[in-house]
Structure 1
Amino acid sequence: MEWVPTLFIVFKATVLCIGMFYAVKWHYDQGRKNGAEKQRAVLLACAKLVGVFVVLAVVLLFLTFVVGKWLGLDLNF
């Protein structure tokens, strides 16, 4: 019975990856159908969104360590 959660996690990850692949492919095909200019705008918007997400993730990580030290937690590795 110890292998059941591992099997379910692998199955879930596989299904999610396949679903994401087909979702991205469908959106890519829709953008290709509408023309190169719209596709470029969508890719630029996605790049901006990814950049904002990365910056926010770094800020959240930094704030987490600041608050942890402020609370007196030992965060050394």
Structure 2
Amino acid sequence: MKVFDMNWVPIVFGTFKVVALGVAMYFAVKWHYDKGEREDGRALLRAGGKMLAVFLVALIAVGLIAFFVSRMLGLDLDLK
């Protein structure tokens, strides 16, 4: 007879993760929305453009790093 069953751990932790991320996303969206109401539209577009540029540069950098590290490790990257 098992006294301590571990099958409940992923369910509890998964539920906690979903709830915590949901609450965090709600407050993040609310904070950004309230902040956006105080700023003018031009500044908001400029900030959004900067964030898009930073995201694209970071995306390209991570892709290139992953590509060169995988080539260095000898992984086959041919698309045959």
TM-score, with structure 1 as normaliser: 0.69
Flag as ranges the 4+ runs of structure 1 deviating above 6 A: none
2:31 alignment partner, one of 23, 26, 39: 26
- Number of residue pairs aligned between Structure 1 and Structure 2: 71
Mapped pair 1:8 → 2:16: no
Provide the identity percentage.
Answer: 28
Q: Which has the higher helix share?
A: 1
Larger Rg: 2
Q: TM-score, normalised by structure 2?
A: 0.68
Give the RMSD, CA atoms, in angstroms: 2.1
Question: Whose RCO is larger (CA < 8 A, sep 6+)?
Answer: 1
> Can you give the 5+ residue segments of structure 2 that lack an aligned partner in the other structure?
1-5
